[in-house]
Structure 1
Amino acid sequence: MPRYIIALTALGCALPAAAQENSTIVVLGGVLPLPPATPAYGSVTIDRDRLTDSASGRIETILADVAGFQQFRRSDSRSANPSAQGATVRALGGNASSRTLVLLDGIPVADPFFGYIPFNALVPERLSLVRITRGGGVGAFGAGAVAGTIELASATRADLPLLSASAFYGSRDASELSASFSPNLGAGFVSISGRWDRGDGFWTTPENQRVSASVTARYESWSTSVRAAVPLRTDFELQAHATVFRDDRTLRFAGADSRSEGMDASIRLIGRGAWQVDALAYVQARDFGNVVISATNFRKTLDQRKTPSTGIGGKIELRPPVGKAHVLRIGADTRYATGDMYEDPYSTVTGLATAHRHAGGDQTTTGFFIEDDWTLGRLILTGGARADRWSIRNGFNDSTSPAGVLTHIGYADRKDWRVSFRGGALLRLSEVASVRAAAYTGFRLPTLNELYRGFVVFPITTQANPALKPETLKGFEAGFDVKPAGGVTLSASAFLIHVEKAIANVTVNTTTRRRQNVDAIVAKGIELNASARRGDASLSASYAYTDSKVKAPGQQFDGLRPAQTPAHAASTTLAWAPERGPSLSATLRYVSTQYEDDLQTDALPGAFTVDATASLPLGHGASLVGRVENLFDKAVITRNAGGSIDLGTSRTIWVGVRFAR
């Protein structure tokens, strides 16, 4: 991997569960306690039991337990183009970049160039929990949280057995192997884990559209991770993390291969004394390549040979002792991203390259933040602000002809300040009921990909736009949480958000789209969540309704829904999991109609799918496990470009063995 340095994604961020906001329990490999006003922003938590019991074994499908979460398309990380795997919530889609800030142990994981999330490297068994906050964020790295934050917490010492392993065999000659070894290391611990999977893949092309060049969505990926946590003294802990991964996929046509790879590393210092400290630094080294095959003569039309990128950043957060009624957080963070795109277009007649293109640039965001939670009996007030200095620099686009003639375009550097705020209130009416409200602002820079790299998904070419401006957010939400009976929790939120200068793929003509800032996307809706547990049985459910519209006076798409955004999304998981004996679970999901494009000419019909898992203990830490994805083999349309269709995961059956001691 050229230009790669081993990387470091530290943290242990084993976020204490939402019910333990003020817990002082120290968990080795964990983080500082959550501030007491955290529930004011309506977070939803996915626990480790769920993370280790899903039909797909992939984090992106587990995140869909929280209705409203979506990627750009409905495909998972076996059959989507990696560069299309942005994460967002609240029906703010419309392009493939992430409007939601995704953190692993407090560190941004999005690709520095594209903004997509490398889901294949985020293995669920390595996590202790996930917390999804669908509103805006102002704290550390909050500059990217236009549509909320997804916080992934690595497994702590308490979560990890000494040795665990699993082996599965699935439909279409698919294999999945994983293992971890987590011994104590003096007073600390180290965890070494790896995962590899491959498959011949399902048909993404409908039978009536297949041609001689059509192939199944073959895939192969692997990742390895090393994480360590060591106490330095009674109130300080050092955590370090490194991950290396690679993912190869073939999409639709023979030769239409994509490749993504990376090496990330981080180091983190946690101080739990009178002055609490959370300091971290990280580096990311990534690359991406992709070949585009013509859908008419099935020859190579574009070779996006490589897109090397580097991300470097860090944070320091201090919590000074200001009295029991206050939790004050002050700090600063910075992120630097640089990347280059190298691609060669090819003539489908001669088979020769017609040009050599090279484009790229740099971005920096440095923010200073302050936030305080003030407890007044049953009322908790919270408020915070960020000031960010951002810059977009050294942008260029070069094209060299086969004869060696260079055409160079350079773009002017840009920089500015952006100030963001958020505030909220949480009122505990009783031991079983509370109400909350929050308001926030925020912003997101366009990615280097949006600025400098176009792409082709036949028959549509989407052009880059180096003049894109940052998106800005204003939002408000209110809701309540109740526990009407033991083991039962209900919550509801209503929200209104307004994203100005939203970046969208705008139709220019029947074969061309261009990334542009539109006046605004306005989304309003409701989110409902419920969970219940009685004995060995449990249920969790989530529903989101979003009325999302593009505001673009004078444009054809004014008043229409943004591309790729459903109005309704729902997910329910029912499980039977006794402490001893067989366990069963089923997950039902529904997503309503979406549209491929901004003009709503190509529809993606609604889809209802069912997944299921079963486990039978064999003794001595071993279990026989069965998993079924898309049990009823529902045809889920993930792309519709003028009638050219791609399909999502077909029924996939897995059988395997899992071991933990």
Structure 2
Amino acid sequence: RSATTPTGRAGLRRDLGPGFLRAAAYAGFRPPSLNELHRPFRVGNDVTEANAALKPERLYGVEAGGGVEGRAGSLTATLFLNRLDDPVANVTIGTGPATFPTAGFIPAGGVLRQRQNVGRIDAAGLELEGRANLSERLALTGAVMATKAEVDGGADAPQLTGKRPAQAPRLAASAGLEWKAAQRLDLFLAARHEGARFEDDLNTRRLAAATTLNLSARYAVNTATRLEVELRNALDAEVATGRTGDGITSYDAPRSLRVGVVYVR
């Protein structure tokens, strides 16, 4: 198969001394992956079928925002409206125990899904991002994104109309602290929060909100070599990433320590 899909982006920016205003409009697309087209998969008793007839997703959006920048820090805000036509979703076909022509027998508690194009997704949101330079050596950063997203399944998937897209939290936020502790030593603290979201298309499997904390340090041995140490998920939070119909929950990585050497010639 082959197709032609136009894409582009146009933007305007107006400088206002220490601040600025900006606006943009854009269009883009994503072709379905080979996995989505041809590779089914199974997690526990949940089976997801591929679909060789998938069409590309097409995105249209506009955004507007502004901000201020100075020696003390910066603050930016952006409002956006997006429409995603023909989004690819794992659509529920039926539940077990039952036998289906494509997947065969699905046990009790299991679900059969297929990747399908499902009408469109409308999303509106607000992004805030800021930085405060508390001193020459210390800076505080933060960001918040709030998104209202809703599926319009149309004639292809009317059961999804009014539902929220899977794996899409309403709120995500982060905060960080950057400290230049010494001439060669930089220390970082980063916290991230993601609100509750749904694992499935029908919004029946809720994944709890989670907050993680990362700690890291960078030490410059010389101009070319840097040592790095990072403690990821320092509080060992349980971050659920998926849940099957028979109660199996998948989690993101637990607390882990990474040590590395960076050499730039």
Q: Give the SS at the match of 2:124.
A: strand
Distance 1:658 1:443, change over 3 A: closer
The aligned runs of 1:537-576 (5 Å cut-off) are 537-553=138-154, 555-576=158-179
Alignment-mate amino acid for residue 480 of structure 1: G
Query: Which residue pairs with 1:580 in the alignment?
Result: 183
Q: Matches of 1:475 and 1:623 in 2, distance apart?
A: 41
Q: Give the SS at the match of 2:241.
A: strand
Q: Matches of 1:582 and 1:490 in 2, distance apart?
A: 27
The correspondence for 1:455, drawn from 41, 45, 51, is: 41
Q: What TM-score, normalized to structure 2?
A: 0.83
Highest Rg: 1 or 2? 1
**Residues 97-131 of structure 1: per-residue CA shift (max 9 Å, x gap):** xxxxxxxxxxxxxxxxxxxxxxxxxxxxxxxxxxx
Query: Which residue pairs with 2:98 in the alignment?
Result: none
Runs of 5+ unmatched residues, structure 1: 1-391, 393-414
Distance 1:658 1:502, change over 3 A: closer
Q: Matches of 2:85 and 2:73 in 1, distance apart?
A: 39
Q: Give the SS at the match of 1:562.
A: coil
Q: Matches of 2:150 and 2:9 in 1, distance apart?
A: 24
Q: Matches of 1:441 and 1:619 in 2, distance apart?
A: 45
The correspondence for 1:653, drawn from 252, 257, 260, is: 257
Query: Which residue pairs with 1:604 in the alignment?
Result: 207
The aligned runs of 1:190-339 (5 Å cut-off) are none
Q: Give the SS at the match of 1:627.
A: strand
Shift of 1:616: 5.6
Query: Which residue pairs with 1:613 in the alignment?
Result: 216
Shift of 1:551: 0.5
Shift of 1:654: 4.3
Query: Which residue pairs with 2:115 in the alignment?
Result: 515
Distance 1:435 1:452, change over 3 A: same
Alignment-mate amino acid for residue 596 of structure 1: E
**Residues 53-96 of structure 1: per-residue CA shift (max 9 Å, x gap):** xxxxxxxxxxxxxxxxxxxxxxxxxxxxxxxxxxxxxxxxxxxx
Shift of 1:657: 6.3
Q: Matches of 1:498 and 1:589 in 2, distance apart?
A: 27
Q: Matches of 1:498 and 1:619 in 2, distance apart?
A: 49
Alignment-mate amino acid for residue 241 of structure 2: T
Q: Matches of 2:160 and 2:173 in 1, distance apart?
A: 27
Kept in 1, the 8 Å contact 2:184–2:221? The answer is no
**Residues 2-22 of structure 1: per-residue CA shift (max 9 Å, x gap):** xxxxxxxxxxxxxxxxxxxxx
Q: Matches of 2:115 and 2:261 in 1, distance apart?
A: 47
Alignment-mate amino acid for residue 535 of structure 1: E
Q: Matches of 1:636 and 1:466 in 2, distance apart?
A: 33
**Residues 151-181 of structure 1: per-residue CA shift (max 9 Å, x gap):** xxxxxxxxxxxxxxxxxxxxxxxxxxxxxxx
Q: Give the SS at the match of 2:52.
A: coil
Q: Matches of 1:620 and 1:546 in 2, distance apart?
A: 42
Q: Matches of 1:540 and 1:625 in 2, distance apart?
A: 21
Kept in 1, the 8 Å contact 2:241–2:252? The answer is yes
Tell me if 1:495 matches 2:80.
Answer: yes
Query: Which residue pairs with 1:435 in the alignment?
Result: 21
Shift of 1:617: 6.3
Q: Matches of 2:225 and 2:4 in 1, distance apart?
A: 56
Q: Matches of 1:417 and 1:618 in 2, distance apart?
A: 52
Tell me if 1:419 matches 2:6.
Answer: yes
Alignment-mate amino acid for residue 517 of structure 1: N
Shift of 1:623: 6.6
Q: Percent identity?
A: 37
Tell me if 1:535 matches 2:120.
Answer: no
Query: Which residue pairs with 1:104 in the alignment?
Result: none
Distance 1:423 1:625, change over 3 A: closer
Shift of 1:625: 5.0
Alignment-mate amino acid for residue 576 of structure 1: W
Query: Which residue pairs with 2:99 in the alignment?
Result: none
**Residues 584-618 of structure 1: per-residue CA shift (max 9 Å, x gap):** 21100000111111011111111001110235667
Distance 1:471 1:618, change over 3 A: closer
Shift of 1:646: 1.3
**Residues 210-256 of structure 1: per-residue CA shift (max 9 Å, x gap):** xxxxxxxxxxxxxxxxxxxxxxxxxxxxxxxxxxxxxxxxxxxxxxx
Q: How many residues are aligned here?
A: 246
Kept in 1, the 8 Å contact 2:181–2:187? The answer is no
Shift of 1:494: 0.3
Query: Which residue pairs with 2:102 in the alignment?
Result: none
Query: Which residue pairs with 1:525 in the alignment?
Result: 125
Q: Matches of 1:558 and 1:628 in 2, distance apart?
A: 42
Q: Give the SS at the match of 2:200.
A: coil
Q: Matches of 1:609 and 1:615 in 2, distance apart?
A: 20
Question: Would you tell me which structure has more strand in proportion to its own residues?
Answer: 2
Q: What TM-score, normalized to structure 1?
A: 0.35
The correspondence for 1:477, drawn from 57, 60, 63, is: 63
Distance 1:556 1:620, change over 3 A: closer
Distance 1:618 1:476, change over 3 A: closer
Alignment-mate amino acid for residue 205 of structure 2: D
Q: Matches of 1:433 and 1:649 in 2, distance apart?
A: 40
Query: Which residue pairs with 1:644 in the alignment?
Result: 248
Shift of 1:419: 2.9
**Residues 423-450 of structure 1: per-residue CA shift (max 9 Å, x gap):** 22111122x1110111122222222322
Q: Matches of 1:583 and 1:491 in 2, distance apart?
A: 25
Alignment-mate amino acid for residue 419 of structure 1: P
**Residues 318-340 of structure 1: per-residue CA shift (max 9 Å, x gap):** xxxxxxxxxxxxxxxxxxxxxxx
Runs of 5+ unmatched residues, structure 2: 96-110
